[in-house]
Structure 1
Amino acid sequence: MSRILIAECKQEISSFNPVIGTYDNFSIRRGSELLTYHQGRETELCGALQVFADSHVDVIPTYGAVAPSAGPLDQQDFERLAAELLDTVTPHLAEADGMYCCLHGAMGCTEELDPEGYLLQQIRRSAGPDFPIVISQDLHGILTHRMLEHSNGLAIYHTYPHVDLADTGRRAAYLLLQVLAGAQPVVARVRVPALVRGNELITASGVYGETIRYCQALEEQPDILAAGMMIGNPFTDVPELCSQAIVVADADPDLARNEALHLAAEFWEHRALMQPDLVSVEDAVAQAAQYSGPVLFTDAADAPSSGATGDSNVLLQALHASGYSGQVLAPLVDAPAAYMAHDAGLGARIHVVLGGSLDSRFAPLDLEVEVTQLGDGEYLCESWNTPQHAGPTAVLESDNLTIVCVSRSVPFIDRSVFIAHDIHPNNNDLIVIKSP
């Protein structure tokens, strides 16, 4: 029976977030805690564990560190985290046949710009050149030369929005099992000098989805072990940031290279389509006033899921100043306002300054509000079935504005933060979405 180590280290950062991340942002799980936590969740490790169980593989859980997206991680805190991971993994290497390491790919520190590559390099140094290491990454990850050098292959998300985390874990597990059975993975990477955004990246409907479906068709071929088209996180400002085509073939470097070149060429051909149609805030507010149904304002540059602070009030300022009369629903990361609301109590009317509590580039918005709900910020993300820890929360209402304030950054990738407060977005005229 094969014995496989599992570990995870996941965070996505924005280099432009002025708030430095810390060790305390991470949820740490050791040993069997990894198995317990991921059971029944829509996560990579859950999918991988299902495959390993079906294949009668003996799993050795080691260490997991996962944090919400944020600013660059403090270097000393990363060194502490890395030491814990390596000290947990290293003693088990001699008894294991291979390792699956679940990564994001867009992690970053105040000094080390490729922390995931560093971790893989240190594991490889201890494990030796012949020890199989397979990783998984978000398609917004930035796969580096060092990551490639110290791993044997990888599985990459195939969906945006991301709904295939467990499937990615399953594909990574199958890849590792193939390597243990004798497959000889060779990885081809073709870098594309393009950063892309916008609705054409939605894989179910956009042109990017055509490239992804070609990747999926490749993975059905017997000599292709994995394929993906990574687009990086534009906010992770590191030297190897780019889009890149990745193909893993079985002992056939020419096949891997040719298919990666095909993917890259197709992606490059459509690059102009994969840019957002931006509208000025003033024009957006004017357009919104012409519609009666729900209107979505996408505040993608302030998406906590991409590492932003989540405390931009630019859209709220514009809507308030314009006299827009429709019912507005918006999330906001604002710990001072949330704590003030908790101190005042349910039903209180208070004066708050909203926004800019983390990023001083945003001038606070002065409002008189009513505290209509208070919460502890504990809820499940409906997309991934993972717990969210938003800290003390408050729903604040001022005329036509309903603002859900959280005190800790959480991904606003779906309706979860609203549903957790029994607010249904469709009952509003305009919803601010802080998601890319």
Structure 2
Amino acid sequence: MRNDQLQIAVAGILHETNTFAPGITDIAHFREQWTMGGDAFVARYAGTRTTMGGVIAAAAVQGVSLLPGLYVAATPSGMVEAVTGDTLIDALVDTIDSRSDGLLLIMHGAMVSEQYADYEGECLRRLRAKLGPDFPIAMTIDLHGNISQAMVRHADLIVGYDTYPHVDMYERAVEAFDLLVRSIRGEIRPVRAMVHTGMLVVPQGMLTSVGSMKLIMDHAFEMERMPGVLNVTVAGGFPYSDVPDAGMSVVVTTDGDSGLAERCAAELAQMAIDRKETFNVSYATPREAVTEALAQLEGPVILAEGSDNVGGGAPADATHLLAELINVPKKAFIVIRDPEAVKVAYWHGIGGLFEGLVGGKSDSLHGTPVAVKGKIRLLFDGHYRHAGPYMTGQHAEMGLTAVVECGLLTLVLTEKRVAPWDVGHVRSVGLWPGDYHMIVAKSALAWQTAFGSFAKHVINVDSPGCCNANLAHFQYQHVSRPIYPMDSLPQPRFGTYD
């Protein structure tokens, strides 16, 4: 057993890729969260409730020296261009310090580039080529990761988030780091078993506080208390990445007992398969949703527009709901990304009259521009920090932002896409969620960390978009078949790695 001070590298590339979303993701999209080297890494993430903050805290507790390499991230969006994909992997691999005793790799699990359907697997393959087959590697992933056989083969430990909305990335980083240290010191010998359920599950079916996902997670926690079980990761998957490995999977890591890992993984996968129909939810059209919301005596009513889910890669400029809110008789709130409209608002200034076409400019799927007229109440640079339970302390940026009052509708126009993960995107512009009868959240479930404590009712909206919960809208070409719900019966896939 090693007792000298360890040196552990930490690096990562984080992106959730929606292959159905408009546009290409290039290197510029990663520049806002481009961090390299120890000083920059600690300055940006120390004290935050992020994966990176968890790594920093765990290293301090363990008395381990961190050797940070490259860490980059981008807001979920469309396919990553080929040159960017290679540039990022090459840069990350080059920054892994050869003196390190192990690596904590931070990735999403659903990143796709034009040449790599399994981007995380390719990244791990290149790391193995540099570091060797016996170099200890632990990996953290999102609950929406599409886990591949290559990922499980090349990473000694995979630790995924246990919550959706995601509020435990800090804790999972600490867990992964501690397991990595124990592995390096020879205290444990991780072996892994994986089962892919053969199911595509939409994000709205993955809420971990109620329903089938909670039952599965609770059973996973019970398994983690079993002697010899080191970690159980249940990944709901990301159905908007059209790749062979898309879908729900289970990875169980044990201390040298491959049979135990296989039994636990198979049991959890079958538990999910037995409940396959329960992952579906009901929806209303935009018009039906607004009518139903207006009929509620008490608000706020959350209109969850998951089809334009920013956290799933959507453009944030869908107008299907906006069109129904013009001249609405009760107070309503919506955020639309429209750089052109923001420029118009800045030209007129605070107190001026905004009049123009808003949204629907990314593609035809997400609606057409809507004519809007209102008073410009506030202009803002778009910078704020997360104040809620999701990545507390993390810096966020909406870009140039304008608040326009259009009768009883408050319209926030942003230069950049912003996911409603934190109430800071409302508070930062001087608004309060409790003041509105209706709040449009361009999100599947992650809006709960911003508006959950305010919501009196929730209506899921079924509108066209690249994150639509009706998977029949999508033309899948690469997903491994058969797979539920496109095919009637799930077909599990198994793998064990030592």
Distance 1:351 1:45 in 2: 43
Q: Which amino acid aligns with 1:19?
A: G
Q: TM-score, normalised by structure 2?
A: 0.84
The answer to whether structure 1 residue 389 and structure 2 residue 422 are counterparts is no
Within the candidate set 309, 313, 326, 1:307 is matched to 313
Aligned to 2:67: 60
Within the candidate set 403, 415, 425, 2:411 is matched to 403
Q: CA deviation at 1:263?
A: 0.7
Tell me the alpha carbon deviations over residues 190-229 of structure 1, each in whole angstroms, 9 at most, x when there is no partner: 1112222365532122321121122222223331111011
- Check 1:319–1:350 CA distance in 2 against 1; reply closer, same or farther (3 A cut): closer
The answer to whether structure 1 residue 246 and structure 2 residue 254 are counterparts is no
Contact 1:197–1:276 (CA<8 Å) still a contact in 2?
no
Within the candidate set 350, 364, 371, 1:366 is matched to 371
Aligned to 2:437: 429
Within the candidate set 79, 91, 106, 2:86 is matched to 79
Q: CA deviation at 1:264?
A: 0.7
Q: Number of paired residues?
A: 431
Tell me which stretches of 4 or more aligned residues in structure 1 moved more than 3 Å: 197-200
- Check 1:51–1:222 CA distance in 2 against 1; reply closer, same or farther (3 A cut): farther
Aligned to 1:211: 216
Tell me the alpha carbon deviations over residues 85-129 of structure 1, each in whole angstroms, 9 at most, x when there is no partner: 12212xx23x22111101111111233222221111111001111
Distance 1:38 1:314 in 2: 37
Q: Secondary structure at the match of 1:68?
A: coil
Q: Which amino acid aligns with 1:407?
A: E
Q: Which amino acid aligns with 2:35?
A: R
Aligned to 2:51: 44
Q: TM-score, normalised by structure 1?
A: 0.96
Distance 2:189 2:267 in 1: 22
Q: Which amino acid aligns with 1:403?
A: L
Aligned to 2:121: 117
Tell me the alpha carbon deviations over residues 394-432 of structure 1, each in whole angstroms, 9 at most, x when there is no partner: 111211211111111122223221111121111111110
Distance 2:81 2:374 in 1: 36
Aligned to 1:155: 159
Q: Which amino acid aligns with 2:302?
A: L
Q: CA deviation at 1:312?
A: 0.3
Aligned to 2:492: none
Distance 1:114 1:200 in 2: 24
The answer to whether structure 1 residue 29 and structure 2 residue 30 are counterparts is no
The answer to whether structure 1 residue 97 and structure 2 residue 101 are counterparts is yes
Q: CA deviation at 1:9?
A: 1.0
Within the candidate set 160, 168, 172, 2:172 is matched to 168
Q: Which amino acid aligns with 2:136?
A: P
Aligned-pair Cα RMSD in Å: 1.5
Tell me the alpha carbon deviations over residues 332-389 of structure 1, each in whole angstroms, 9 at most, x when there is no partner: 1111111211121111102121111223332100111211111111011232121112
Aligned to 2:228: 223
The answer to whether structure 1 residue 420 and structure 2 residue 428 are counterparts is yes
Q: Which has the higher contact order (CA 8 A, sep 6+)?
A: 2
Task: Please identify, of 218-227 and 196-205, the stretch whose mean Cα deviation from structure 2 is larger.
Answer: 196-205
Q: Which amino acid aligns with 1:296?
A: I
